[in-house]
Amino acid sequence: MLSLAASSLPSTRTHRPDAASHSSSSSVRLLRSLARSRRADLAHRALLLFRSLQSTPSPPPPHVSLPAVLSAAAFLSALPEGRQLHALAAKLGLAPSHTVVANSLLHLYSSCGLPGAALDLFRRIPDRSLVSWNTAVDALVGNGDHLAALDLFREMQRDTELAPDAYTVQSVLGACAGAGALSLGVYAHALLLRELGGDGDGEAVSRDMLINNSLVDLYGKCGALELAQQVFDRMPARDLASWNVMILTLANHGRVCESVELFDRMTQVEKMAPNAITFVAVLSACNHGGLVEEGRRYFAMMVDQYRIKPRIEHYGCMVDLLARAGFIEEALDIVAGMNCRPDAIIWRSLLDACCKKNARLELTEAMAKLALEVPDDAVSGVYVLLSRVYASAQRWNDVGMVRRLMVEEGVKKEPGFSSIEMDGLVHQFVAGDTSHPQSEAIYEKLDEIQLKLTSAGYKPDLSEAPLVASIDNAKGAALRLHSERLAISFGLLNATPGAPIRILKNLRVCKDCHTISKLISKLYGVEIIVRDRIRFHHFKDGSCSCKDYW
């Protein structure tokens, strides 16, 4: 760690130019040039130069030099040095009062993954510029706090007279994609057309490849596949990122054959060489469709033809593809030959496959042990899967042992939530939620849905009900209160007739909710689009786009 405080600077001349030979302005120009180089070695030299300049008789004005060196620290994610710079700026009375310096500090904390520190500083800036708001919104998006980012954007529009620029909208597009907020995304798209479409017909937007890639990603992640395809098809030029995002979008929506065909078109017709991300996309398509032979072929193509070293994501796709298809031994061979350590996701994929394929109990227990040895926050899924295996084998003492372990080790199941956007507002539900203003009407609608489901012959699948609900009736009641059912009920109450109900879920859809979503789509004549942790499910006319393979 470099010490950047002037009082602690060494007297050595190592790595520092003779300050007397440089004017203040030339030093600042050099500092800015090094900071903007986007090269780690030159950014590091910018920190050294700033340190040396601080010990000269006439250092550059700090309000000029600090933003440049903070930019270098942000590029390097050099948090200790950045905090020293923050302390220096505060000592000189420049933070948070000087807007440019404060904005540079916001960018630093955002780059270092500290949105809390960035928003704390943001609230203390007396005269926030558009850059201040943009940086704060972008910090939240980068940290995955998409709803908070959208709230901050609304606050900017409500409480200031600042007009959003293209940078603002780019961040908002990312937030909308993450939150599945389609109508807000459409609004952001309209803002882009207004800001950049000065010719009146939006040609500037249509020509911007980065914006178009973001729009494809936005519409894809919001469940509007047709709009994503439309933006992609209308692009006058496409880079590799354009193809990657469209291939992955098609894969995630269950358009597996179209995804694979697009990969072949890119490589064979457009003669564009794929990269590691492209192969993650096409292997995901194979995984979602159970295309084992195609997955083997593309993995071999990646290694042998394009000389791309497999990453954990490629291995994860192959292991899941093979294991779910019943080729557990081949999947284990893949794991044994990996060039990196398997993560918890890979072991859980194998464990899940062992459960579904009724593999040997000894093998399942071994998979669970390996999964639990990998540091991971979401270990609860491993315990749940293992307990399910013991229950199916009627080893009730072991089921109890797993539950005791979970209590003793403080393991808690990751809380599930489902969100749905309506009229520009995102409504979020958790299981058994009663906090929503329309809660009474939502539960009345659930009762109506339950009656229709029962009349249609529906019987709950209790295999994935919570362990704590040991009585069938209690399990059925718990299933009925799952967060996506509350979101569907809310959607049926409030959505425009004929419009799809779009739901984002942070966990994988359970079997029973998958079944009732198919039935509801038929009984109510509505399309339900659910984005879960793994993929999209388009429920329509009693069937699902995943063809019950997920």
Q: Is 425 found in the same domain as 402?
A: no
pLDDT band of residue 434 (cuts 50, 70, 90) is: very high
Question: Average pLDDT in the 195-210 region?
Answer: 67
Q: Looking at residue 11, what is its pLDDT?
A: 33
Q: Has residue 281 been placed in a domain?
A: no
Q: Looking at residue 18, what is its pLDDT?
A: 47
- Does residue 452 or residue 356 have the better pLDDT? 452
Q: Is 456 found in the same domain as 358?
A: no
Which are the contacts of 461, defined by CB distance < 8 A and separation ≥ 6?
511, 512, 515
pLDDT, one tens digit per residue, over 317-351 is 999 999 999 999 999 999 999 999 888 889 888 88
Q: Is 74 found in the same domain as 88?
A: yes
Q: Has residue 140 been placed in a domain?
A: no
- Does residue 378 or residue 361 have the better pLDDT? 361
Q: Is 43 found in the same domain as 114?
A: yes
Q: Which of 353, 387, 414 is the last residue of a domain?
A: 414
Q: How many structural domains are present in the chain?
A: 3
Q: Has residue 208 been placed in a domain?
A: no
pLDDT, one tens digit per residue, over 443-499 is 999 999 999 999 999 988 776 654 444 444 555 556 678 999 999 999 999 999 999
Q: Is 463 found in the same domain as 400?
A: no
As a dihedral over the C-alpha atoms of residue 293, residue 298, residue 303, residue 307, rounded to 10 degrees, the angle is 160
Q: Looking at residue 20, what is its pLDDT?
A: 43
Burial class for 474, CB neighbours closer than 10 Å (0-12, 13-18, 19+): middle
Query: Quick count: other Cβ atoms within 10 Å of Cβ 309?
Result: 10
Q: Looking at residue 176, what is its pLDDT?
A: 95
H or E segment to which residue 360 belongs: none
Q: Which of 141-155, 226-240, 275-289, 351-365 has the lowest mean pLDDT?
A: 351-365
Q: Looking at residue 198, what is its pLDDT?
A: 53
Q: Is the pLDDT of residue 100 over 60?
A: yes
Burial class for 21, CB neighbours closer than 10 Å (0-12, 13-18, 19+): exposed
Residue 334 in contact with residue 322, Cβ under 8 Å?
yes
Residue 71 in contact with residue 107, Cβ under 8 Å?
yes
Token digits of residue 394: 């009627």
Residue 103 in contact with residue 129, Cβ under 8 Å?
yes
- Location of structure tokens 């940078």: 167
Q: What is the DSSP letter of 271?
A: -
Question: Average pLDDT in the 514-536 region?
Answer: 96
SS3 of 12-24: the string is CCCCCCCHHHCCH
Q: Is 421 found in the same domain as 410?
A: no
Q: Is 402 found in the same domain as 506?
A: no
Determine the Cα–Cα distance for residues 133 and 122; give it in Å rounded to an integer.
8
Q: Is the pLDDT of residue 364 over 50?
A: yes
Question: Average pLDDT in the 46-62 region?
Answer: 88
SS3 of 429-451: the string is EECCCCCCCCHHHHHHHHHHHHH
**Which phi-psi region, left, alpha or beta, contains residue 189 (left: φ > 0; alpha: ψ -120 to 50)?**
alpha
Q: Is 499 found in the same domain as 384?
A: no
Q: Looking at residue 372, what is its pLDDT?
A: 81
pLDDT, the chain, mean: 88
Structural domain range at position 521: 417-544
- Does residue 87 or residue 60 have the better pLDDT? 87
Q: Which of 127, 148, 167 is the last residue of a domain?
A: 127
Q: Which of 414, 442, 477 is the last residue of a domain?
A: 414
Question: CA-based Rg of the chain, rounded to a whole angstrom?
Answer: 27
Residue 69 in contact with residue 54, Cβ under 8 Å?
no
Q: Is 5 found in the same domain as 59?
A: yes
Burial class for 449, CB neighbours closer than 10 Å (0-12, 13-18, 19+): buried
Which are the contacts of 53, defined by CB distance < 8 A and separation ≥ 6?
19, 27, 31, 59, 60, 65
Question: Average pLDDT in the 202-221 region?
Answer: 85
Determine the Cα–Cα distance for residues 532 and 111; give it in Å rounded to an integer.
28
Q: Is 29 found in the same domain as 123?
A: yes
Q: Which of 174-178, 278-282, 329-333, 462-466 has the lowest mean pLDDT?
A: 462-466
Q: Has residue 486 been placed in a domain?
A: yes
Q: Is the pLDDT of residue 376 over 90?
A: no
Question: Average pLDDT in the 104-115 region?
Answer: 93
- pTM score, whole prediction: 0.84
- Location of structure tokens 């558009």: 130
Query: Quick count: other Cβ atoms within 10 Å of Cβ 376?
Result: 15
Q: Is the pLDDT of residue 305 over 90?
A: yes
Q: Has residue 399 been placed in a domain?
A: yes
Instruction: Calculate ∠ Cα 392-393-399, nearest 5°.
Output: 80
pLDDT, one tens digit per residue, over 2-48 is 566 544 333 333 344 444 444 577 888 899 999 888 899 999 999 99
| 528-531, strands of its sheet edge to edge | 425-430, 417-422, 501-505, 528-531, 536-540, 543-544
Out of 192-201, 505-514, 518-527, give the one with best mean pLDDT: 518-527
Helices (H), 273-428: 276-289, 292-300, 312-324, 328-336, 344-356, 361-373, 380-392, 396-408
- Rounded to 10 deg, the angle between the 24-35 and 62-76 helix axes is 20
